[in-house]
Structure 1
Amino acid sequence: IFAGGENAEIKGSCRSIEGLHMRDLLEGLNTADPHLINKFGGHAMAAGLSINEQHFNDFKKAFDAAVSAQLSEESKRCIV
């Protein structure tokens, strides 16, 4: 979930599911494309982050791809 912040930055909070380490996922995104995330922190089951609003669509695509790559087929079927 993202909410508006200051200076065209949006702040997000995310919770995870079994089999998906949220902080490690964000670390991987940040390593692969450092412009997507301004800052982040958290642990396996929850994390927070800040991104520039203009990068939201790119972040969303990268996040969806990373989640899909990490989850088992069984886990993917459980997501609504």
Structure 2
Amino acid sequence: YRISPLYDSMVAKLIAYGRDREEAIAIMGRALAEFRVEGVRTTIPLHRRILATHEFRRGEVTTTFLEERFRRRN
């Protein structure tokens, strides 16, 4: 499938679930590691970094989590 330059920015949605949060995060991590989208930039690397944080794993993220944890350093 070739993605048009006029594509909708949500090309796909990935959902994972498990018996508990820990299992769901592990399943999502494996799925993101195997997920392939070619021809456009994706947020897969960011999602993998988010899954790796202690805050996310413990369910302790806030509305400022992304800004505080992943602020761009120029």
Q: When the two structures are superposed, what TM-score results if normalisation uses the length of structure 2? A: 0.30
| Greater fraction of residues in strand | 1
Q: Which gives a bigger RCO, structure 1 or 2 (Cα 8 Å, sep 6+)? A: 1
Q: When the two structures are superposed, what TM-score results if normalisation uses the length of structure 1? A: 0.29
Larger radius of gyration: 2
